[in-house]
């Protein structure tokens, strides 16, 4: 396993993008420690749109990711209601030592607080900070304000939009809005990733499951809806959802028969996001599941 060797950072209030870029370059040049060279080996730019209420969760997830995905991570914390306009930045270069490697391997984290009017055009702030030619992912925390300026700008900028529809209150209605983006950006959903092992279990029930009429789920609403949409779209048949809302996927049953709980089905938030950062193309199966669950009306279990 890798171990954090050192962190070098810089903090600037009311700063500029040019200053951030310059400071980042300074940090990269100055971080060599004890004669051990540092390597910057980014494979992507990872943006995160993090409203203040998600800041802690985003930071925790990022901490679990840094050693796995060499990237430039840019956290955007919008504070449009702030009394003053401005851009505050905390940047750090985090270097890890890895077994078998003499050099440290470094990632960059840029946390930007967009105060007041600086939250209106986030793409103009982010664009100069993207690493050229590498894929750009954005993890959008919370429910996106579909159609809003910041959201539309950032969707145009990125190759992949990663959401967690489990964070959305208005399901399944919000899925219709998400579906309208499918032709513009590849979309991923952590709620969909969470159910991967359960989907494998359900796939193992073929061919008996082909005539299923009811799916019973004890778990989050988003996961249950997506599983139902998935079965509907793949099996090409109507299927009703009986839902007992729970914070995590606990039980599934098909037409009353319990599905065996998969082993190792619980993955950390970092694991789930990490898996999404390795996908580079559209996921038509997910897209069809979203389209098919938009009109599912769950009945209470």
Partner 1 sequence: MATTTRATPEHDGKEANPLLEGLRLRRTPEPCALVIFGASGDLTKRKLFPALYSLALRRLLPESFAILGVARSESTTEEFRSRMEEAVREFGRDRFDEEAWERLAGGINYVATDFADEGGLDAVRDCLTELDESRGTRGNRVYYLATPPNAIGILVQQIGERRGASGWTRLIVEKPFGRDLTSARELNAKISEFFVEDEVFRIDHYLGKETVQNMLALRFANGIFEPVWNRQFINHVQISVAESIGVGSRASFYEETGAIRDIFQNHLLQLVALTAMEPPIDFTADSVRNEKVKVLRSLHTPGPKSVVRGQYGPGFVEGIEVPGYRDEEGVAPDSETETYMAAKLYVDNWRWADTPFYVRTGKRLPRRETTIAIEFNRAPHPPFEEMARGGLRPNVLLVHIQPDEGVSLEIGAKVPGQGMSIQTVHMDFLYGGAFRTALPEAYERLILDAMLGDATLFTRTDEVEEQWALVDAIVATWRRDRPSFPNYAAGTSGPSSADDLVGRDGRAWRRP
Contacts to partner 1 by CB under 8 A: 2, 39, 41, 43, 67-70, 96, 98-103, 105, 196, 199-209, 216, 230-231, 234-236, 251, 253-254, 256-260, 262-264, 283-286
Q: What's the CA gap between 273 and 68, in Å, rounded?
A: 11
CB nearer to partner 1: pick between 165 and 216: 216
The bridge status of strand 86-97 relative to strand 104-115 is antiparallel
Is 128:49 a contact under the CB 8 Å cutoff?
Answer: no
CB nearer to partner 1: pick between 221 and 234: 234
CB nearer to partner 1: pick between 96 and 168: 96
Is 250:219 a contact under the CB 8 Å cutoff?
Answer: yes
Q: How far is the CB of 224 from partner 1 (least distance, A)?
A: 15
Q: How far is the CB of 267 from partner 1 (least distance, A)?
A: 13
Instruction: Count CB atoms within 10 A of the CB of residue 157.
Output: 18
CB nearer to partner 1: pick between 253 and 269: 253
Q: How far is the CB of 71 from partner 1 (least distance, A)?
A: 10
* Joined tokens for residue 13: 């209030």
- For residues 177-209, b (16+ Cβ closer than 10 Å) or e, as one string? bbbebbeebbbbbbbbbbbebbbebbeeeeeeb
Q: Which helix (H) or strand (E) covers residue 136, if one does?
A: strand 136-140
CB nearer to partner 1: pick between 180 and 261: 261
* Joined tokens for residue 209: 């499951």
**Cα first-last separation, the chain:** 44
Q: How far is the CB of 136 from partner 1 (least distance, A)?
A: 17
Nearest-CA neighbor of 111 among 137, 163, 139, 75? 75
* Joined tokens for residue 108: 């960059």
Q: How far is the CB of 94 from partner 1 (least distance, A)?
A: 12
CB nearer to partner 1: pick between 1 and 169: 1
Q: How far is the CB of 274 from partner 1 (least distance, A)?
A: 10
């Amino acid at each position: 396993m890798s171990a954090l060797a050192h962190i070098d950072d810089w903090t600037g209030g009311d700063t500029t993008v040019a200053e951030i870029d310059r400071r980042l370059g300074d940090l990269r040049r100055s971080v060599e420690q004890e004669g051990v060279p540092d390597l910057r080996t980014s494979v992507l730019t990872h943006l995160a749109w993090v409203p203040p209420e998600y800041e802690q969760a985003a930071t925790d997830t990022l901490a679990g990711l840094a050693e796995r995905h060499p990237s430039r991570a840019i956290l955007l914390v919008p504070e449009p209601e702030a009394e003053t306009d401005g851009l505050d930045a905390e940047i750090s270069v985090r270097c890890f030592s890895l077994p078998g490697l003499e050099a440290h391997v470094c990632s960059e984290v840029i946390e930007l607080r967009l105060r007041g009017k600086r939250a209106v055009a986030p793409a103009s702030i982010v664009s100069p900070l993207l690493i050229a030619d590498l894929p750009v992912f954005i993890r959008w925390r919370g429910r996106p304000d579909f159609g809003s300026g910041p959201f539309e700008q950032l969707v145009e900028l990125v190759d992949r939009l990663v959401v967690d529809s489990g964070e959305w209150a208005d399901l399944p209605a919000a899925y219709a809005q998400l579906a309208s983006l499918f032709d513009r950006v590849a979309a991923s959903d952590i709620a969909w990733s969470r159910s991967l092992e359960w989907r494998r279990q359900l796939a193992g029930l073929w061919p008996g499951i082909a005539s299923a009429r009811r799916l019973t789920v004890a778990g989050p609403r988003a996961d249950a809806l997506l599983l139902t949409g998935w079965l509907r779209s793949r099996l090409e048949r109507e299927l009703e959802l009986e839902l007992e809302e729970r914070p995590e996927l606990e039980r599934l049953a098909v037409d009353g028969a319990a599905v065996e709980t998969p082993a190792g089905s619980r993955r950390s938030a970092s694991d789930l996001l990490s898996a999404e950062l390795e996908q580079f193309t559209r996921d038509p199966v997910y897209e069809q599941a979203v389209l098919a669950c938009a009109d599912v009306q769950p009945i209470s279990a």
